């Protein structure tokens, strides 16, 4: 239960973290992800339909951590599908748009959805994106106090100007690592809902290595 299920087997990393990005459509989830993974910003980045998956390996306290990043569609009708991917997530990034009041007030709804579908131990993080824009309607203080109310860490970011984007993912990864180290969080394959067992073909190469 160290969260390093695949460690030391020549895979080129020490542990894996499943991280999910959620929030209303248009708040900049995909832009944050693309900025983080590819260091690009394309203002007309394409709509996410359903679920997208990206991977990036980072260095956390001298350990190679493979981040599995799941980007989700924001439109309500995709909710039943995207929530299926909450299973086993170790980190969930909840994004709103500081220039759009509605996306901010929907944070509580998203928080509720997380509580219904994610592991209790999952580490959450609240992000107010598009901090570069001068049409801001949600202040930093409002974001901070909501985060306090929900008991979440909070970061404001701009995917456009590359402000605080790396911080989002590193802060989250570190918090997750701390939880893993204090044995609170299960690693891959040990999630409480991992209800599909690996069959004979996999030869038990997973999850029982520790």
Partner 1 sequence: MTDIIFNKQLLRNRNVLGGGRSLEEKFLLHYSEMNGKGPAAFVQKSLTSRDLPMLKYFAMNNSGDMTNALRKEVWYTLLNAQLPSTKMNDADSIKPKKHKDEDQVVLDVNRSFGALKNLSQKERLRALLQKMIIKILRKYPQLNYYQGYHDVVSVFVLVFFERLNKNPTFHSIKREECNLLNETMDTDNDVIEPGIANAAETCGDAIDEKDTKFVLDETKLFRCIESFTLLYLRDFMTDSLDFAVDQLKMIPYLIKKMDPELYQILHLDKIEPFFALSDILTIFSHNQKPYEDIGSTEHSIIFFIFDLIISTQSMYIPLIIYANLVVSKKATLLMEYDLNVANFENIPDMVHAIIQKVILTQTIFDDENCWRSLLTEAKINNSLIDLKHIRGMLNPYSVLLTTSVSHHQLELQVYDLPYILELFDKEVVLNEKCKSFSANDRQLFYQGGRSSYNRIFYFFEKHKTIFLIYKLSLFLLVFAITVKILKDGHLKKLVARTYFQRLHHYYGTIIDSSSTRKRLWVDPLSRLFKSAKYSHIPDIPSSL
Ligand X SMILES: Nc1nc2c(ncn2[C@@H]2O[C@H](COP(=O)(O)OP(=O)(O)O)[C@@H](O)[C@H]2O)c(=O)[nH]1
Interface with ligand X (CB under 6 A): 25-31, 43-45, 48, 74, 129-130, 132-133, 158-160
Query: DSSP character for 92?
Result: E
Q: Does 82 bind Mg ion (CB under 5 A)?
A: no
Chain-centroid distance of CA 203 in Å reads 30
CA-nearest of 82, 129, 70 to 104 is 129
Q: Cβ of residue 52: shortest distance to ligand X, in angstroms?
A: 9
Place of tokens 């939880």: 179
Binding partner of residue 130 among partner 1, ligand X, Mg ion, none, CB cut-off 5 to 8 Å per kind: ligand X
Q: Does 99 bind Mg ion (CB under 5 A)?
A: no
Residues 119-148 touching partner 1, rule: CB under 8 A, are none
Q: How would you classify the pairing of strands 91-97 and 51-60? A: unpaired
Cβ atoms of 69 and 54 closer than 8 Å: yes
CA-nearest of 108, 110, 100 to 79 is 110
Which residue, 96 or 187, is less far from ligand X as judged by CB? 96
Q: Does 44 bind partner 1 (CB under 8 A)?
A: yes
CA-nearest of 22, 26, 20 to 45 is 26
Residues at the interface with partner 1 (CB under 8 A): 5-6, 9, 11, 16, 18, 25-26, 42, 44-53, 66, 68, 73, 75, 77-78, 80-81, 84-85, 87-89, 188-189, 191, 193-196, 198-199, 201-202, 205-206
């Amino acid at each position: 239960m160290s969260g390093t299920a695949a460690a030391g087997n020549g895979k080129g990393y020490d542990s894996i973290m499943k991280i999910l990005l959620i929030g209303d459509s248009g708040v900049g989830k995909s832009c944050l992800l693309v900025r983080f993974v590819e260091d690009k910003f394309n203002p007309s980045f394409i709509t996410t339909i359903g679920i997208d998956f990206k991977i990036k390996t980072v260095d956390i306290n001298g350990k190679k951590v493979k981040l599995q990043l799941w980007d989700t569609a924001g439109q309500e009708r995709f909710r039943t599908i995207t929530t299926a991917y909450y299973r086993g997530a170790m980190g969930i990034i909840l994004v709103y748009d500081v220039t759009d009041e509605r996306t901010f007030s929907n944070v509580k709804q998203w928080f509720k959805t997380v509580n219904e579908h994610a592991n209790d131990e999952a580490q959450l993080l609240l992000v107010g994106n598009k901090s570069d824009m001068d049409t801001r309607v949600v202040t930093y203080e409002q974001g901070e106090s909501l985060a306090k109310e929900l008991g979440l860490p909070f970061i404001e970011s701009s995917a456009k100007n590359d402000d605080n984007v790396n911080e989002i993912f590193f802060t989250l990864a570190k918090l997750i690592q701390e939880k893993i180290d204090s044995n609170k969080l299960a690693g891959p394959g040990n999630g409480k809902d991992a209800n599909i067992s690996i069959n004979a073909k996999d030869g038990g190469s997973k999850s029982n290595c520790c």
